[in-house]
Chains A and B, each alone.
Chain A
Amino acid sequence: MSFSQVILVAVVFAPGAVFALLSLSWLLGWVPGERAISVITGGTFSLCALGLAALLWRLGSSGSTAVVVTFGNWFAVQDYRFPLVLMADRLSLPFLAMTVVLSGLIGQFSSTYLHREPGFFRFFVLLHLFAFGSLLAFAAGSFDLLAGGWEIVGITSVLLIGFFQLRPAPVENGLRVFAVYRATDIGLLVSVFAMHHWTGTAMFTTGPPLLTGKQALIVCLLLLLAASGKAAQVPFSGWLPRAMEGPTPSSAIFYGAISIHAGAYLLLRIQPLLAQSVLASAVVILIGAATAIHGTIVGRVTSDAKTSLAYASLTQVGVMFVEIGIGWTSVAVVHILGHAMVRTMQFLRAPSMLHDDHQIHSAIGGVPERAETQFEDLLPETLRLWLYRWAFDRGHLDTILDRWLVQPLVYVSRLLARLDDVGSPVHATRSAPATVSVVDVARQGGD
């Protein structure tokens, strides 16, 4: 294994190793202090950043365009193989660097921001798991491995949305986001199967799998479903404001920087396939444009800073989808990197900005009057009001999904429950305990 390969492996697996060590220490009953966690996190991501810099330097000096590390097959059954291949090429390297740098910055910011927070340790454990998942997804040399990293990013995202676990709202919102992720990830799983079925592999170390036009269309649409779910594109945008329930640093890194751009990365990875299919490209452009318009209109009526930033992110990611659909991949990569940095900074600045804002208001004795003219003032009042209502309900997207997908599913589920109860006069019940149970306390609203 060459020096570059060793570095790539170390960078990808270092956060995973830290996650494993921290989890193990907790299981054994020892939790490191805040300072130790902060040092470990800072050290890990600093070393990863140095490693990536060295990797870039080596690549630049040797003139090669990619580093590929092949570990063989994770598992194999006859002709079916799950290859364990890492790759750092011109597309994945910027994403790897972005992940390492922003994870390190978020780690440092959070060590102060979450000081004495009961979930401090949990946050950092999940941050390392998230970084590992992201690095795995971006450095994967096959769609099989990418799916693994993708799922890890999803689950950590959900667990961090429910970070403030004592309040029901974040927990329920986390569940909603999890449902959207799992539903749309079916596209990724089925597309991986389709690639294996048609070409015998889902590796892309030497370019994407060779598919016919029709096959490329099917694979692209399936992957677009997964990308849309992860990037909160229309019609799945409704989960994004719900995800703002998490702590600000996690909102910054997930929905300002890395997780929200994972969908765009996936589409960039399959850009040659998209170029094969005009229809798939058109669908990408359509979804991106719809999301950009949706994001910018809804973002104008949001009343809290984080949600407003989330919709601003959504708008930009929509524009990135359009760029990818058109084929402007370099523009999209630069757009992603720039956007991730700026948006992370904005998210991290949001709490202190609100504080500053309140101080300014109290100093000048009230809220300053609105001086500038908004674009929406140019619209007729009727349309403005209609748009306001539409935007206030976030484009009715959640309502539509609830009415046409969730409610029918719930209705069918309850119908099946009634069918199951036919012939069974009562649900078999066990005797309640003599002492007061947690459910009794919960029902009485006690704490």
Chain B
Amino acid sequence: MPDVLQIAGGPLAGYIAIAVPWLSALTVALYRRHVRIIGFAAALITAIACALPLGAASSSQSLYQALMFLFSCLTLGATVILPHRDCTAGSIGGILFILGSTLLAYSADNLLILLAAWILSAIPFFVPRWFRAHSWRPRAGLLLSAIALALAIAQISAGAHTIWIVNLKGQNPGGVAAFGLLVAAVIFRKGIFPAHAWVADAAEGGPAIPTALLFNGHFGALLVAKLIVPLFAGTAAVWLPVLSYLAMATALYVAIRALTENSPRRLLAFIALSQSAAILAGLESGTAEGITGALVHWYVVTVSTVGLFGILRLLEVRFGENLTVSTHLGLAGHAPRLAVSFVVLGLALVGLPGTLSFCSQDLLIHGTLQSHPLTGLLLPIATAMNAVSVFRMFTRLFLGKRRTGFTAVVDALPRERWILAVALVFVVLGGLFPDVIVARRSAEAELVERAIRVHPPISQIFNRQ
């Protein structure tokens, strides 16, 4: 029987990484005091447990290992940056719950464990007193994705009589039906058009930072990289472009939608969704550039959007929860460091030179245009629109006449400043020395590319005919 958890450096590090968040969440739920310290310590231990075996990981493992480390660091940052008002036992417990389930999903080499992680990560967003949004659509999206995944796994298990991913590679288990159900799970979970509306609802009506963590687990992209491409190489080569077209359409759709949105949270959710849809398009492109770009972009989107949602929450706590981008609020005068962090992280999300996304966007655009010369054009257009939306959001929130007459207000606190500084250093140093990250990701990209290249994409089949 293969290892349950696919982690380099032996199962011990993996078990520590997975177990610590769960145990800590339980401790927080029972003890209910010093929750920030417990959350921070748990995330720190998890991050160290994920980081230690990074150097020993093989190409096939290093992506998930790196993503586990990244997500642990994000959670670590979230526990520090979480405003005092939000730092309850429920919030910290929920964040650790999301961390545990996300790491479980990244490391799972077993379909049932993957399904369990998929469902567990969504549970806090169903519970009214936890992270549940007011709207029904987030629950519907998450529920439908879980049902689709459960049906797909049932179909796969029934056909192949095994639940170990490693034994199913390249076997096309469950046929087109299982493949279709997996794609449906991706569409619902990732918020791909036409199932995109729940993402904005969740951001608007739920807690900002935990919801950002939910989005940035990128379970949809994970499913593509972990199951769809390795298991269904043949089918994926023919039918996965459909998902890619939908992803590119989503990127453009929500980019246009964002142009007139005035709610900061919804606007940010649209921008994040548009940029993260590009990850799917890159993964499907079948080119090493596109896939590497997608993997690098995964990092950029994750760090930037969690940072941006974090800053937005800090602004809400300081300046009122009814922020809007319909008028100039002039907050830079009160919070210049938050303003600079916002604009750098925001523009880093949309390809600012000198940041990591300049490199990831460059690779993504080359990859997608190479595989889909016409539809690939949607990606730079969507990115340009997103850049305008980011800049509009920045100008409306931070620039304009400095307002007084309300309870004020400090700029970023030291603990917030350090976390934001780390995020900025990551995107900027990553942009100045991108090869450190690109070289590692390109090795994994070649594995994915080889899996897809066995069969030509559908567009090439049609072209040949």
Partners in one complex: yes
Distance in Å: Cβ of A320 to nearest Cβ of chain B: 26
Nearest-CB residue, chain B, relative to A189: B380
B405 contacts A446, C-beta separation under 8 Å: yes
A80→B363 contact, CB < 8 A = yes
**Shortest Cβ distance from B376 into A: residue:** A193
In the complex, chain B residues whose CB is within 8 Å of the CB of A175? 388, 391-392, 395
User: B172 in the interface, Cβ–Cβ < 8 Å?
Assistant: no
The one of B204, B266, B320, B363 in contact with A437, judged by C-beta atoms closer than 8 angstroms, is B320
Does A435 interact with chain B (Cβ within 8 Å)? yes
Contact between chains at A435 and B435 (CB < 8 Å): no
> Max chain A CB contacts within 10 Å: which of B205, B320, B435, B439?
B320
For A180, give the chain B residue with the smallest CB separation: B388
The answer, yes or no, to whether A197 is at the interface (CB within 8 Å) is yes
How far apart sit A412 and B330, CA to CA, in the bound complex (Å)? 29
Q: Tell me whether B402 is interfacial, beta carbon within 8 Å.
A: yes
A289 within 8 A of B: no
| In-complex Cβ contact of A74 among B137, B387, B400, B435 (8 A) | B435
Nearest-Cβ distance from residue A253 to partner chain B, whole angstroms: 20
Residue from A78, A168, A178 in contact with B391 in the complex, judged by beta carbons closer than 8 Å: A178
- A190 — which chain B residues lie within 8 A by C-beta? 365, 369, 377, 380
Indicate which residue in B320, B391, B439 contacts A440 across the interface (CB closer than 8 Å): B320
Interface residues contributed by chain A, number (CB under 8 Å) = 66
Do the beta carbons of B384 and A186 come within 8 Å of each other? yes
Q: Is A144 an interface residue (CB 8 A)?
A: yes
Q: Provide the residues of chain B in CB contact with A186, threshold 8 Å.
A: 380-381, 384
Quick one: which of B218-237 are within 8 Å of A by CB? Answer: none
Which listed residue (A82, A168, A185, A410) contacts B384, Cβ 8 A? A185
Known: A158-B391, A179-B388. A427 touches B400 (CB 8 A): no
Q: Provide the bound-state CA to CA distance between A74 and B377, in Å.
A: 24
**A424 touching B384, Cβ below 8 Å:** no
CB-CB under 8 A from B258, the residues of chain A are 413
Using CB atoms, name the residue of chain B closest to A196: B366
Q: Quick one: which of A390-429 are within 8 Å of B by CB? A: 409-410, 412-414, 416-417, 420, 423-424, 427-429
Give Cα A193–Cα B372 distance, bound, in whole angstroms: 13
| Residue A279 interfacial (CB < 8 Å) | no
Chain A contacts for B319, CB-based, 8 A: 437-439
Interface string of B368-396 (1 = CB under 8 A from A): 01100000010011001001100110010
* A223 → B minimal CB distance (Å): 15
Q: How large is the interface on B (under 10, 10 to 19, 20 to 34, 35 or more residues)?
A: 35 or more
Contacting A at CB under 8 A, from B339-367, are 340, 347, 351-354, 358-359, 362-363, 365-366
The answer to whether A342 has its CB under 8 Å from any CB of chain B is no
Q: Does B463 contact A (CB under 8 A)?
A: no
Report if A435-B320 is in contact (Cβ < 8 Å); known contacts: A82-B362, A175-B388, A429-B134.
yes
- Closest beta carbon of chain A to B198's beta carbon, Å: 9
Which of the residues A413, A416, A429, A442 comes within 8 Å of B327, measured between beta carbons? A442
A439 close to B260 (CB less than 8 A): no
Q: List the B residue with the shortest CB-CB distance to A431.
A: B321
Residue of B nearest to A423 (CB): B137
Which residue of A is nearest B442, CB measured?
A77
Contacts of B391 in A (CB 8 A): 158, 175, 178
> Which residue from B205, B388, B401, B406 sits with its C-beta under 8 Å from A178?
B388
Q: Contact: B259 with A178, CB < 8 Å?
A: no
| B259 contacts A27, C-beta separation under 8 Å | no
> Are A77 and B445 in contact, with the CB atoms below 8 A?
yes
Q: Which residues A224-269 have CB closer than 8 A to chain B? A: none
Q: How far is the CA of A441 from the CA of B377 in the complex (A)?
A: 43
Determine if A30 is an interface residue (Cβ-Cβ < 8 Å). Answer: no
The docked-state distance in angstroms from the alpha carbon of A428 to that of B261 is 14
B257 touches A197 (CB 8 A): no
Of all chain A residues, the one with the shortest Cβ separation from B202 is A428
Answer whether residue B434 sits at the interface, using C-beta atoms and an 8 A cutoff.
Answer: yes
Taken together as a complex, chains A and B put the C-alpha atoms of A83 and B135 apart, in Å, by: 49
Most buried by A among B134, B266, B399: B399
Contact indicator A428/B204 (Cβ below 8 Å): yes
Tell yes or no: A171 within 8 A of B by CB: yes
Asked if B29 is at the interface of the complex by the 8 Å CB criterion, the answer is no
Complex CA distance for A77 and B285, rounded to whole angstroms? 14
Contact residues in B for A417 (Cβ distance below 8 Å): 257, 260-261
- Can you name the residue of chain A whose Cβ is closest to the Cβ of B255? A413
Q: Determine the chain B residues whose CB is within 8 A of the CB of A117 once the complex forms.
A: none
7 A-B residue pairings within 8 Å (CB atoms): A74-B435, A77-B442, A155-B352, A168-B328, A171-B400, A196-B366, A428-B205
Residue numbers of B with Cβ under 8 A of A are 133-137, 196-197, 200-201, 204-205, 253, 256-261, 263, 266, 288-289, 292, 319-324, 327-333, 337, 340, 347, 351-354, 358-359, 362-363, 365-366, 369-370, 377, 380-381, 384, 387-388, 391-392, 395, 399-407, 421, 434-435, 438-439, 442, 445-446
In the A-B complex, the 4 residue pairs with the closest CB atoms = A437-B320, A428-B205, A428-B134, A438-B319
